[in-house]
Amino acid sequence: MNQQSERDGYADSEGDQVYEIVPVELEMIQLKATVQQQAVKMDAFMKSQQELNQQLLETNRRLLDALERNPPRGTTPLGVAVPDVTSGESVPSRAVVPNPGPSSLPSIPSSSVATTSGANTDWKEIATSLARRASVGSAVQKPFFASGKNHPIVFLERFERYFKLCRFGPEEKLEVVRGCLGPRVLEWMLIREGQWESFEDFRKDFLGYYWSGAYQHSERMRLLLKRYHPDKGLSMSEYFISQITSLRAASPLVPEVVLVEDVIRQYPQWVVSLWTTSPDKDLKGTLEFLAGQEANCVKRLRPFSEPTPAPATQRRRLEWPDDQQAEPGSSGRQSGNFQGGR
């Protein structure tokens, strides 16, 4: 029993009870011993490093002392070359470092040069692309589309121009257009984007949903019911261009002459009457007609204010003397030299 206890554990001196050492405790004891051994080795290594550093410092000090006691000919104690002033040559104000020859330069492997050159080329291309986008960003405004607020056709045309000028990659087109959509349109895109393989698939699905036949008809009727108002901030030419652009997108099959007539009817009657006498009623001729009428119609479109009548001449009020009163039945209006008696 005592031998078995010595093998598996230890005996308590008071109760002669034997406690077995579980494997976890045994591993902890072994780990502790290993850590202690590593600590002793680390202390010895640190001491050896300190001794080595001390030896190096001592060696450097001895070398410097030797150079100070016996400097080489033509040099200062610090090893800088000193020109001979007795020869009459000019002494430079700064130390001149000779240009090393090709043989003294370290050789660089050609593979390293090729790798570095390729990396520099890639960085140059990236920097050039970023510079182009930064320069274009100030000139081209990023388009935005919100359902019910922006025209789908106009948005796509502006996006194509923006994408081309910013020089994005073709594979980035779907991600770029994602940043141009409103919250509700983004929700629609998240539902449908799993069926798209390219931007053309997005374009077709986008027009089919936001520019259907029923929506085109309602948009055309809304545009035809509008009227030109000069107080809205647009000139006659600007309003005409805006309406023609929207109607052309809403009615791609309608002839241009019909579109021009539809927009002209939205102006005041006197503008329509003058336009009917114009020789050129196409798009270009109508724009020239409106540009010529803008300066002349300012007074006609500006509301006239009613003339203010001149103030009436007020007569001097006549006062009765204190000692006299007006007779009953008198009108009270007497001449200026009224003396108060009959």
Helix axes 269-276, 283-294, angle to 10 degrees: 130
Q: 206 and 148 in one domain?
A: yes
Q: 244 and 185 in one domain?
A: no
* Digit-coded pLDDT (tens) for 85-130: 444 444 444 444 455 554 544 555 555 445 545 555 655 665 565 5
Q: 234 and 200 in one domain?
A: no
Domain boundary among 163, 193, 211: 211
Q: What is the domain extent for residue 235? A: 217-301
334 band by pLDDT with thresholds 50, 70 and 90: very low
* Digit-coded pLDDT (tens) for 35-57: 888 888 888 888 888 888 888 88
298 band by pLDDT with thresholds 50, 70 and 90: low
Q: 221 and 262 in one domain?
A: yes
Is 295 among the domain residues? yes
301 close to 278: Cβ distance less than 8 angstroms:
no
Q: What is the pLDDT, as a whole number, of residue 188?
A: 95
Is the pLDDT at 179 greater than 90? The verdict is yes
- Is the pTM here over 0.75, yes or no? no
Q: 224 and 297 in one domain?
A: yes
Domain boundary among 196, 211, 226: 211
Domain boundary among 177, 211, 245: 211
* Digit-coded pLDDT (tens) for 305-331: 444 555 555 555 544 445 444 445 444
The angle formed by the CA atoms of residues 168, 174 and 180, to the nearest 5 degrees, is: 85
Q: Highest mean pLDDT: which of 87-96, 145-154, 155-164?
A: 155-164
Q: What is the pLDDT, as a whole number, of residue 132?
A: 57
Residue with the bigger pLDDT between 31 and 21: it is 31
Q: 255 and 232 in one domain?
A: yes
State how many domains the chain has: 2
What's the mean pLDDT when you consider all of the chain?
A: 73
Is 97 among the domain residues? no
Q: 236 and 253 in one domain?
A: yes
Q: 268 and 200 in one domain?
A: no
Is 258 among the domain residues? yes
Is 294 among the domain residues? yes
Is 63 among the domain residues? no
